[in-house]
């Protein structure tokens, strides 16, 4: 039961671990041992954890039952710790790519991305019909350029749609904050630019939503809380927001999120549950729940989120859109709540891969004066002509991991993989990725420690204003010791080396993004929030 010190696990050196399909490495499934907590239960657990002696005892048992003591606390790991996920960049002289000059202005970067995309047939645009059709960035640009519709018209329809989505009949929970006057001001400025024939870029006039973890004037940055914006006022735009403004994007408000990113359901006791546009009785996922939902609903072609442990990718998967977490430090983190320094990254949620690429080009590139020497000097964008497909792609697949999900997810993902093989001739490379569950535990120890440290100054004075689920999460986060944090970074180093070996044999590692589909929102979670580590760990 985790009461006594478990037997020490001694990890083999990385060089001795077989990563081939014939590997004898044991696959450990996630076996989360924690009850779903909402309502009165989550309140009781929070109170108990906040009692000094009882809380410490319960946390020790909880960590032991979930194998943290066995695989991290008491483990012997030869590799040195890796505190920041930076490594030597090797330029492989990729073919059929265009290098993105990071010295370019954001509009010029966007144009480079546009030049990489195939020339597609124009879709008919009906500018008079007051509905949303999940337009892409290029759909908006063509409609604006032709005069069929204006950014002002889109802004008015957007505002009406958000207002409708907030009514008691829907209560979709998309936004924490949006400002009608500011949206119309931006849209009017964009409309004038199109009337003069001087749009800044294809993003000009395109509505983009922002997770409420990223500074974006005139809005406060709440992080999904009722208090953080009072302690940390927003005085300027984040760097990524400044770059979107330079491209002419219309920033339409701050989207809902799981409080402090401390969960994966997107149920926020302060601002309501973000509901899945495909089925409003189910979760949108988290923590970038609102950003995923507004894109999925067709209100915006693109939204920004922040991803520390799947907070962009999970809600994107559950809402049926594209979620991109870029490589560490490819997008400046300045102006983002520093909840987790070494794992959190600004990410992109979009309706299409093309829109994700365009937005990535617009906001990518570190601030030159702060760029570490180990960061790659360039970003390569793929050239995607319509008449030629990318060939000779090798997909690394670890069968035990790929199939460790519900049947409906496995069948869907296997079907997609078969289509890629059949249509493009891409090759499957069978591999073994060792210690996946250990990696999850190490990541949880890392992100939890960093989040707890980030909020240490604020916790005591604002404890009563936290949601109950966030209070439980933060007590668990605060239970990790310095030794556990360092050992987690040793595991990070091991995984980096494992992945580098696999990527020397393959181009992509494939797996389902989430192991389950979106589960139902239950009424008992609406007022207190919800902690569901079982579904969150799959």
Q: What residues are annotated to the active site? A: 211, 287, 311
CB 505 within 8 A of CB 394: yes
Report d(CA 319, CA 351) in Å as an integer. Answer: 10
Alpha-carbon distance of 23 to 122, in angstroms, equals 50
Q: Where are the alpha helices (DSSP H) in 50-150?
A: 52-65, 68, 106-116, 137-146
Looking at 364-406, list the stretches that DSSP marks H as alpha helix, in order from N- to C-terminal side.
399-402
Can you read off the two tokens belonging to residue 489?
A: 């970074």
Q: Annotate 33-58 with three-state secondary structure.
A: CCCCECHHHHHHHHHHHCCHHHHHHH
Q: What is the DSSP letter of 504?
A: T
Between CA 297 and CA 162 the distance in angstroms is 10
Instruction: Read off the tokens for 512.
Output: 């389902």
Parallel, antiparallel, or unpaired: how do β-strands 302-307 and 207-211 relate?
Answer: parallel
> Cα dihedral sign for 400, 405, 406, 409?
negative
Helices (DSSP H) in 84-227: which residue ranges?
106-116, 137-146, 151-165, 180-195
Instruction: Tell me the CB-side half-sphere exposure of residue 34, using CA atoms within 13 A.
Output: 26
- In a 13 Å sphere around the CA of 112, the CA atoms on its Cβ side amount to 23
Query: How many CB atoms neighbour CB 398 within 10 A?
Result: 23
b/e burial code for range 435-460 (CB count within 10 A of at least 16 → b): bbbbbbbbbbbbbbbbbbbbbeebee
Residues 6+ apart with CB under 8 A from 166: 172, 174, 175
């Amino acid at each position: 039961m985790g009461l006594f010190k478990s037997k020490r696990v001694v990890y083999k050196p990385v060089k001795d671990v077989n990563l081939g399909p014939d590997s004898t490495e044991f696959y450990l499934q996630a076996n989360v041992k924690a009850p779903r907590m909402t309502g009165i239960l989550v309140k009781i657990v929070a109170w108990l954890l906040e009692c000094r002696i009882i809380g410490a005892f319960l946390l020790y048992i909880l960590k032991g039952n979930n194998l943290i003591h066995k695989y991290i606390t008491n483990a012997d790991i030869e590799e040195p710790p890796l505190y920041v996920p930076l490594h030597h960049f090797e330029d492989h002289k990729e073919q059929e790519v265009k290098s993105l000059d990071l010295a370019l202005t954001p509009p010029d970067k966007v144009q480079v991305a546009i030049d990489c995309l195939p020339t597609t047939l124009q879709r008919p645009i009906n500018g008079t019909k007051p509905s949303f059709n999940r337009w892409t960035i290029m759909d908006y640009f063509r409609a604006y350029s032709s005069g069929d519709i204006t950014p002002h018209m889109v802004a008015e329809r957007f505002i009406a749609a958000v207002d409708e989505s907030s009514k008691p009949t829907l209560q979709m929970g998309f936004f924490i904050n949006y400002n009608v006057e500011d949206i119309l001001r931006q849209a009017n400025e964009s409309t004038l630019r199109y009337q003069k024939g001087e749009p800044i870029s294809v993003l000009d006039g395109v509505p983009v939503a922002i997770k409420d973890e990223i500074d974006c004037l005139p809005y406060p940055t709440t992080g999904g809380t009722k208090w953080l914006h009072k302690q940390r006022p927003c005085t300027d735009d984040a760097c990524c927001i400044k770059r979107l403004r330079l491209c002419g994007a219309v920033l339409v408000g701050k989207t809902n999120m799981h409080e402090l990113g401390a969960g994966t359901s997107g149920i926020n006791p302060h601002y309501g549950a973000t509901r899945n546009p495909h089925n409003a009785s189910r979760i949108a996922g988290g923590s970038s729940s609102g950003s995923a939902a507004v894109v999925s609903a067709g209100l915006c072609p693109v939204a920004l989120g922040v991803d520390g442990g799947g907070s962009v990718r999970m809600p994107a998967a559950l809402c049926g859109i594209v979620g991109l977490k870029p490589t560490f430090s490819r997008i400046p983190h300045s102006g983002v709540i520093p909840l987790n320094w070494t794992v959190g990254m600004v990410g992109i949620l979009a309706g299409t891969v093309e829109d994700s690429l365009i937005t990535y080009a617009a906001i990518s590139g570190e601030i030159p004066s702060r760029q570490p020497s180990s960061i790659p000097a360039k970003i390569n964008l793929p050239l995607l002509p319509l008449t030629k497909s990318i060939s000779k792609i090798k997909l690394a697949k670890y069968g035990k991991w790929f199939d460790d999900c519900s049947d409906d997810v496995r069948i869907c993902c296997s079907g997609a993989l078969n289509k890629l093989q059949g249509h493009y001739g891409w090759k499957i490379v069978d591999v073994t990725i060792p210690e996946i569950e250990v990696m999850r535990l190490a990541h949880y120890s890392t992100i939890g420690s960093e989040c707890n440290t980030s909020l240490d100054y604020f916790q005591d004075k604002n404890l009563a204003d936290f949601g109950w689920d966030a209070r439980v999460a933060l007590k668990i986060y605060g239970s990790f010791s310095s030794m556990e944090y360092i050992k987690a970074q040793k595991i990070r180093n091991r995984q980096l080396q494992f992945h580098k070996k696999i990527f020397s044999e393959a181009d992509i590692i494939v797996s389902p993004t989430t192991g389950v589909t979106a589960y139902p929102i239950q009424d008992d979670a609406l007022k207190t929030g919800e902690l569901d580590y079982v579904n969150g760990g799959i």
